[in-house]
């Protein structure tokens, strides 16, 4: 009994689904016969069929406002609207498509810009100026860019000088160190000479969280031949030795300067793990690098901001074109 | 002479640049085109714009007509034009309560029923509004499919081609749309003129 009812239900469902097509005469002969057979013995389906047919008839017969005018085409119609109906194009794209792309690009660049500014702010607020703790990868790429762009070096130099002065004031114990370590004339030279090592050492070691900044820093500070192996064995090149010495003098300053995870995180990825006054060395050297990174960062921010503005204007222009 | 032949001959002439031949086709199909557009857009002005635009597009694209049912071909263009209008309307919605009213003061020559009393006209106006409200409640795709089926009298295959969907999709859209419209009409029985009510003898 139950089985019969269920079978009937299934039949019922199938028929209901086909009723509309049946009304439209769109069923194959086999389905048509099946529907007719079922409707003949199922009152609910018969009613369904009746009301569906009724709906079709009402819609088919329902009055509609008469056409307001004749739509016959005049020759004049063909000329004037031809201009307006032809879709405007922009660089081979329809304006709608171009608008879509522009909108997307604007949104993307704006987000990147916002992230960059936010990252910069966070870095400055939480780590102080000297230790710009960006995501290591980001820092590395920024530095790369700076090295590539010749002008950036010039700017860097200025900022480094500024920063050095600032440091002189804030860390009174280390003035000699800083001045010695970063003579103004030497900075740009270093940067220019060592672009390749920077790229090589900065990128692969960029993976560890904070210390990732260090390798690139040291690579920057160390003159070209100072490869990682040399540094590890402790054979510090003359330049490095100088900075180590000076740091030893002012290890206190170094300590106050590196309260962050830096010291502990430094050893593994650092190319100079055996150097005793390690933290200080890295700090001092990093100082220079970070200002470089910071400047690059600023440039990137300005560039991104400009890009946002340009894209925004372009988007608005295209949008206006599209709507007109 | 079957009308189909006529359509094809006129279309062929239009393809040679004969605007008068094309206008014969316009005159033949403009009422149907306007009705379809009106049902889909439920706005008299928008429907008129869409119809005019569709015929212009059709004339420019007449070279792409490769025979077959001219009616199906022109209604496909009308449908596409209506979809464009709907999209444009979504971008800047216009309130068109007024458009639901049949504002034409008197029946004209293109009316189906020419000798009509004012009462009959009022009834028709009321009915048109009631039915259009039911159609408006349908999603656009269902509205288009049901209109092409019941107003334009196209078969499922033609509707599938016109709206670029599968036959199964057409079938289910029409089924759902008609069921909903039926439910709506059954709630409106008292408001409908007697001849549009569901009677026991049908």
Q: Which one-letter DSSP state was computed for residue B142? A: H
Burial label for B49, CB within 10 Å (0-12, 13-18, 19+), is middle
Is residue B180 included in any domain, yes or no? yes
User: Can you read off the two tokens belonging to residue B92?
Assistant: 């800047």
Nearest one of A220, A224, A225, A214 to A275, comparing CA atoms: A214
Domain that holds residue B80: 3-196
What are the pLDDT digits (tens) for A152-164?
445 445 555 555 4
Maximum alpha-carbon separation in chain B: 55
Q: How far is A312 from chain B (nearest CA, A)?
A: 20
Of B19, B30, B171, Cβ closest to residue A67: B30
Complex ipTM more than 0.90, yes or no? no
Q: In this structure, what CATH number is given to the domain that contains residue B48? A: 1.10.1740.10
User: Can you read off the two tokens belonging to residue A166?
Assistant: 């600032």
The confidence score (pLDDT) of residue A262 equals 44
User: Can you read off the two tokens belonging to residue A105?
Assistant: 């690009």
Q: Is the pLDDT of residue B151 over 70?
A: yes
Is residue B79 included in any domain, yes or no? yes
User: Can you read off the two tokens belonging to residue A54?
Assistant: 């009724």
Q: How far is B112 from chain A (nearest CA, A)?
A: 8
What are the pLDDT digits (tens) for A214-231?
444 444 444 444 444 444
Say yes or no for a CB contact (<8 Å) between B23 and A78.
Answer: no
Is residue B70 included in any domain, yes or no? yes
Q: How many domains does chain B have?
A: 1
Beta-strand pair A89-90/A93-94: antiparallel
A20 vs B contacts (CB less than 8 Å): 171, 174-175, 178-179
What are the pLDDT digits (tens) for B155-173?
999 999 889 999 999 999 9
Q: Are A303 and A112 in contact (CB under 8 A)?
A: no
The confidence score (pLDDT) of residue A4 equals 61
The confidence score (pLDDT) of residue A127 equals 67
B196 vs A contacts (CB less than 8 Å): 58, 61-62
Return the residue matching tokens 């004031």.
A169
Is the overall model pTM greater than 0.90, yes or no?
Answer: no
Q: Which one-letter DSSP state was computed for residue A89? A: E
Residue B107 banded pLDDT, cuts 50, 70, 90: very low
Say yes or no for a CB contact (<8 Å) between A55 and B178.
Answer: yes
What Cα–Cα distance (Å) separates residue A54 from each residue in A209, B130, B197? 73, 15, 8
Is residue B202 included in any domain, yes or no? no
Residues of chain A predicted below pLDDT 50: 81-85, 130-135, 137-153, 155-156, 164, 168, 171-289
Q: Where are the alpha helices (DSSP H) in B16-69?
A: 19-41, 44-60
Is residue B189 included in any domain, yes or no? yes
Q: Is the pLDDT of residue B70 over 60?
A: yes
Query: d(Cα B132, Cα B90) in Å, to the nearest integer?
Result: 19
B34 vs A contacts (CB less than 8 Å): 64, 67, 71
Residue B197 banded pLDDT, cuts 50, 70, 90: confident
Is residue B201 included in any domain, yes or no? no
Return the residue matching tokens 């009152």.
A43
Per-position DSSP letters for A208-273, written without gaps between them: STTTTHHHHHHHHHS-TT--HHHHHHT---HHHHHHHHHHHHTHHHHHHH--SSHHHHSTTT-S-T
CB atoms within 10 A of CB A49: 21
Nearest one of B36, B70, B29 to B143, comparing CA atoms: B36
Is residue B32 included in any domain, yes or no? yes
Say yes or no for a CB contact (<8 Å) between B124 and A63.
Answer: yes
CB atoms within 10 A of CB B115: 7
User: Can you read off the two tokens belonging to residue B150?
Assistant: 């019941």
């Amino acid at each position: 009994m139950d089985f019969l009812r269920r079978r009937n239900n299934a039949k019922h469902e199938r028929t209901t689904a086909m009723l509309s097509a049946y009304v439209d005469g769109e069923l194959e002969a086999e389905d048509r016969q099946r529907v007719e057979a079922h409707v003949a013995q199922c009152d609910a389906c018969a009613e369904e069929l009746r009301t569906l047919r009724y709906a079709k008839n009402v819609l088919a017969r329902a009055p509609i406002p008469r056409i307001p005018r004749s739509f016959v085409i005049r020759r004049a119609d063909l000329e004037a609207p031809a201009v307006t109906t032809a879709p405007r194009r922009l660089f081979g794209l329809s304006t709608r498509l171009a608008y879509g792309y522009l909108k997307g690009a604007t949104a993307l660049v704006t987000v990147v810009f916002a992230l960059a500014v936010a990252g910069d702010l966070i870095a400055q607020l939480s780590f102080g100026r000297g230790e710009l703790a960006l995501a290591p990868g980001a820092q590395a790429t920024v530095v790369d860019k700076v090295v590539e762009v010749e002008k950036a070096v010039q700017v860097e130099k200025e900022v480094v000088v500024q920063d050095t002065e600032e440091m002189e004031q804030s860390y009174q114990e280390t003035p000699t160190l800083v001045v010695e370590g970063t003579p103004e004339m030497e900075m740009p030279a270093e940067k220019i000479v060592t672009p390749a090592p920077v790229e090589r050492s900065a990128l692969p070691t960029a993976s560890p969280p904070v210390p990732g900044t260090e390798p690139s820093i040291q690579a920057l500070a160390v003159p070209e031949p100072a490869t990682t192996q040399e540094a590890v064995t402790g054979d510090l090149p003359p330049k490095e030795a100088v900075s180590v010495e000076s740091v030893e003098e002012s290890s206190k300053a170094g300590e106050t300067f590196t309260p962050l995870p830096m010291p502990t995180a430094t050893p593994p990825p650092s190319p100079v793990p055996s150097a005793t006054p390690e933290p200080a060395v890295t700090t001092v050297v990093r100082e220079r690098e970070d200002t470089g990174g910071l400047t690059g960062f600023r440039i990137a921010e300005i560039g991104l901001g400009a890009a946002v503005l340009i894209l925004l204007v372009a988007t608005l222009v295209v949008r206006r074109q599209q709507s007109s | 002479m079957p009308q189909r032949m006529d359509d094809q001959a006129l279309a062929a002439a239009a393809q040679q640049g004969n605007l008068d031949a094309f206008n014969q086709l316009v005159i033949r199909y403009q009422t149907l085109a306007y009705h379809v557009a009106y049902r889909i857009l439920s706005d008299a002005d928008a429907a008129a714009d869409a119809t005019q635009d569709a015929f212009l597009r059709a004339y420019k694209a007449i070279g792409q007509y490769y025979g077959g049912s001219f009616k199906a071909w022109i209604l496909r263009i009308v449908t596409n034009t209506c979809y464009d209008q709907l999209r444009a309307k979504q971008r800047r919605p216009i309130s068109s309560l007024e458009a639901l009213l049949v504002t034409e003061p008197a029946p004209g020559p293109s009316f189906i029923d020419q000798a009509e009393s004012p009462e009959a006209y009022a009834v028709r106006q009321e009915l048109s509004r009631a039915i259009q409200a039911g159609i408006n409640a349908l999603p656009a795709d269902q509205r288009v499919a049901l209109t092409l089926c019941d107003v334009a009298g196209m078969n499922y295959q033609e509707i599938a081609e016109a709206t670029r969907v599968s036959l199964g999709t057409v079938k289910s859209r029409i089924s759902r749309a008609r069921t909903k419209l039926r439910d709506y009409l059954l709630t409106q029985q008292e408001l409908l003129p007697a001849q549009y009510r569901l009677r026991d003898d049908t």
